[in-house]
A and B are shown apart, each in its own frame.
Chain A
Amino acid sequence: MTAYLRNSLTYVWAFLVVITVASWFIGRGHGAAYQLDAAITVGVLLIAALKAQLVIRYFMEVRFASRWLKRTAYGWNIALLSLLLLFYWLSL
């Protein structure tokens, strides 16, 4: 069973956990009232999009999939990130 953990997917998972903790560190509350903060928002949204990309590419095996599926899946992630950042920016 442990042989399965010597797998590139495990390294991807470890990186995903590290950047999850990093995003929590960036966005964590300190007991003080939450303030509008573009740096935190852009940081956590970029990390979320990177995590989504890794899950699509490696766990969902889209890296091996046909071109239409690659374009659709990666396109969804990029379009979502762009729209979220756009509407956040418009609200500032």
Chain B
Amino acid sequence: MTSAVDAVTAAGDIDAKKSPAFPGESSMWFFIIGDLLIFGVYFVAYMIYRGQNQALFLHSQQFLNQGIGATNTVVLLTSSLFVALGTQAARVGKSVDAYRLFGLAVVFGVLFPFLKMVEWIPKISIGITPGENLFFMYYYVMTGLHLCHVLLGLVILGFVMRNVRVSKERSHPPNIKFVETGAMYWHMVDLLWLVLFALFYLMR
């Protein structure tokens, strides 16, 4: 534990020299890289199809709620911050703090699907569905696929919290590899949304 404590400065920042070669399990990194490549292909395909239907995409984009899109971006960034801080706390064996920080991450994380429903339901109720046109097909499929990642991420964060809670109760340090693995997945979910927000809501 001493070395782990030494790895954290007074400000709570981790020391580059004493951190792992990569955070979490290597298998999760292969999954993350695979997922980033798959979404990357979708993003590029969206741009190509958009180029062939500029007027349709520009017109359809006006029906999206930019305010909710921007709010959801801040929500995920904030959730990611708490996950990153929780990971640092878990790394130095501060299970109580880690548990609270991951709890805050889940609170913000749950806001995302809620706001997504606030965004989707009025659209679907006036008949704007994936069948509307190519833009909305991409919009519902890609944001829907991302939403599935968010929901899975929330379940994973739940398991991370359980791991930290058990370590808190038994007064032993959390399983840091497990905590880091869950954290990396959640950051990837955040990362994908940053690109989706620019492509669907903002670009012209």
Q: Chain A residues in contact with chain B, CB under 8 A?
A: 1, 3-10, 13, 16-17, 20-21, 23-24, 26-29, 33-38, 40-41, 44-45, 47-48, 51-52, 55-56, 58-66, 69, 72-73, 76, 79-80, 83-84, 87-88, 90-91
Contacts and interface: CB of A to CB of B under 8 A. Distances in A.
B41 to A, nearest CB: 10
A48 B62 contact: no
B81 A34 contact: no
B107 interface: no
Contacts of A8: 11, 13
B152 to A, nearest CB: 17
Say which size band chain B's interface belongs to.
35 or more
Interface of B is mostly: helix
Interface of A is mostly: helix
B203 A9 contact: no
A34 B194 contact: no
Given A1-B97, A41-B204, A76-B37, 14 more contacts: A6-B11, A7-B85, A23-B198, A29-B66, A33-B59, A33-B62, A34-B204, A35-B58, A38-B204, A45-B198, A52-B191, A72-B33, A76-B40, A80-B40
